[in-house]
Structure 1
Amino acid sequence: MNFMSKLAKGLLSTALALAVAAPAMAEGKITVGGKGFTEQLIIAEMTKQLLEKHGYTVDKKDGMGTKILRAALENGEVDLYWEYTGTSLITFNKVTDRLSPEETYERVKQMDGEKGLVWLAPSKANNTYAFVVRPGNPKTDNLNTISDMAAAYRDGVEIQMGTSAEFPKRPDGLLGLEETYEFEAGRANVHPMDLGLTYPALANGDLDTISAQATDGQIAALNLRVLIDDKGFFPNYALTPVVRKEVLDQHPDLKDTLEAVSTKLDDATMQRLNSEVAVDKKTVEAVAADYLTSIGM
């Protein structure tokens, strides 16, 4: 065997050894979707960075409304995004049964599975809706439950409520809440706005209550009080990665990769990450990167 043949054989042996020893890098382009509020911006960016580390080319499309994003997932414009179990249960599948967190997950997993959407392992981060009030406001200081708030509205108290643009129109939002608690807030008292504006408006007295999300970082930072959902209206909203089956079949490694993150997230973690962006003014990119580093991803 001449020198060149020996060299070629040696290089081939080295390449084969490296291929066996090194983990295979994923190939392909993945479109990651996300909604337009802090938590979703963080989780979409986290997913983008994670998948890029695993060799994917990622196109991130965040800042979308819930129904638009879901439609994009169903029609293939988006390959995956993180959805909330309660949103799928009520908004997309029109289920009004009162279910436990486990039942909620199993129901949406089954129903969305029939539509070609795969729900991976859920996180313990339950971003359910919550009404919060600030301290020192005579209108709300005596309110401890949503029933108390409903009674105040029935008595004619003009409690100014801030919400997202979607909340007043959602069956798992104000529409269903008013029916369950038997009150009407009244159009003049409901102020749909960008979620980023609701907390400053509550803090400075322009609003009396806002429809928050339980993992919002501002709740603790502003010393706000959460009204108890004493009739259990709001379902569980477990933050969960959802992937089109076609995409998962093509890239089965996505399951383990995404579940390595979802199984580590809980309420306290998401409140902290949300607070770092919304209160401490860190960038979404930095917060996502720091968290992935902290969990060894």
Structure 2
Amino acid sequence: MKTLMTALTGLALAGTVASASANEVVVGGKNFTEQQIIASLTTQYLEGLDYDVEKRAGMGSAVLRQAQENGQIDLYWEYTGTSLINYNDVTESLSADETYQRVKELDGEKGLVWLEPSAANNTYALAMRQASVEETGIQTLSDLAAAVNDEKGLSFAMNAEFYAREDGWRPLQQAYDFRVGRSDVKRMDSGLVYQALRDAQVDVGLVFATDGRIPAFDFVVLEDDQNFFPAYALTPVVREETLAANPELEGQMNALSSLLDDETMATLNARVDVERETIEDVAESFLKDNDLL
């Protein structure tokens, strides 16, 4: 895998643009469960429609994006908020529709076409255990801020990326007017955050809104009552050249996108992360259940 990733990184950085061919599509995906599932869904779906598909999943976000811009990846599913902030450096507060329209416009100038967004919004969120919510009465991020400022001694877990990113931990504290000391924040791999919260090693954990472990572990997502987090609508993005060679691809991908929402993605994610089914089996059964395979 390391050798493969090195090779893909080299391809992405090389800047060589491949010409698109009809019915030949390279599908990309990032290196976490939801992206692995959606890459497998897309691959199996398009293969069932007689496309010649090459799947390159498990890539880092920035490398994947650059690979698409350079023509090495034809199609992958991106999150609107990620493109807005990380790839287009837009930091103003926008609604979900405004976010989509802005990235559609900005990425369109780069030859990338945003198709119809799904109803799955995999935004960042903070969660607590159900028992803790009942004990403390904390239900919103404003409630959480008040508890921190009242020196309730809450501890937090999050991944290193969120701790440092522009729409992450420090700006969140500024928006809600609270401050947590470094000693009360544990930085760890995203998967370990769920375990630490479940096992009561911390009081509050960073989660992704469509993660299947939220209902499985009886977590409660705290309401972002000041709308700090941007929308992260899961959306298929395809190179303009690829779409020109395969015009029917737009309608086909929009049909798949229309089937996805928060509950659906949480269920699919849980089948992999909690029930330990294989990504390929989960993707295949979803397509068959929806008469797409």
Q: What amino acid is the match of 2:269?
A: N
In the alignment, what sits opposite 2:102? Answer: 107
In structure 2, distance between residues paired with 1:210 and 1:263:
30
Q: Any idea what SS the aligned residue of 1:202 has?
A: helix
Counterpart of 2:194 (choices 191, 199, 211) is 199
Q: CA deviation at 1:31?
A: 2.0
Counterparts of residues 102-251 of structure 1 (less than 5 Å): 102-137=97-132, 141-251=136-246
1:165 Cα shift?
3.5
| Structure 2 counterpart SS, 1:225 | strand
Go from structure 1 to structure 2 and tell me whether the alpha carbon gap of 1:107 and 1:165 turns closer, same or farther (over 3 Å shift): same
Kindly state the Cα deviation for residue 111 of structure 1 after the two structures are TM-superposed: 0.9
Q: Partners of 2:67 and 2:162 in 1: how far apart? A: 21
Q: How many residues align?
A: 272
Return the offset for 1:50: 1.2
- Give the Cα separation in 1 of the matches to 2:90 and 2:197: 32
Structure 1, unaligned stretches of length 5 or more? 1-25
| Cα displacement string for residues 233-275 of structure 1 (whole angstroms, at most 9, x for unaligned residues) | 0122111001111221122222122111001211121111111
Indicate how the Cα distance of structure 1 residues 62 and 192 shifts in structure 2: closer, same or farther if over 3 A, else same: farther
Letter in structure 2 aligned against 1:240: T
Paired residues of 2:124 and 2:229 also in contact (CA < 8 A): yes
Deviation at residue 202 of structure 1 after TM alignment: 1.0
- Find 1:65's aligned residue among 52, 56, 60: 60
Indicate the larger mover: 182-191 or 199-208.
182-191
CA distance in 2: counterparts of 1:222 and 1:145, whole angstroms: 19
Q: Trace 1:73-112 onto structure 2 (pairs within 5 A).
A: 73-112=68-107
Contact 2:122–2:210 under 8 Å retained in 1 = yes
Which structure would you say has the larger Rg?
1
Change over 3 Å in CA distance of 1:73–1:160 after alignment to 2: farther
**Could you say which residue in structure 2 is the equivalent of 1:45?**
40
Residues 88, 106 of structure 2: 8 Å contact kept? yes
Runs of 5+ consecutive residues of structure 2 not aligned to the other structure: 1-20
Secondary structure at the counterpart of residue 166 of structure 1: helix
Q: 1:238 to 1:66 in 2, by over 3 A?
A: same
Match of 1:271 among 263, 266, 271: 266
Q: Which residue of 1 aligns with 2:24?
A: 29
What is the alpha-carbon root mean square deviation over aligned residues?
A: 2.1
CA shift, 1:168, in A, is 1.4
TM norm structure 2 = 0.85
SS, match of residue 171 in structure 2: helix
Quickly say closer, same or farther: Cα 1:257–1:192, change in 2 above 3 A.
farther
Instruction: After TM superposition, give the deviation of residue 281 of structure 1 in Å.
Output: 1.3
CA distance in 2: counterparts of 1:93 and 1:74, whole angstroms = 13
Distance 1:78 1:188 in 2: 42
SS of structure 2 residue aligned to 1:136: helix
Structure 1 residue 155 displacement after superposition:
4.4
Q: Distance in 2 between matches of 1:71 and 1:183?
A: 36
Deviations along 1:124-159, one digit per CA (max 9) or x if unpaired, are: 111111111013349973422212323333444543
What CA distance in whole angstroms lies between the structure 2 residues aligned with 1:52 and 1:190? 45
Distance (Å, rounded) in 1 between the aligned partners of 2:135 and 2:207: 16
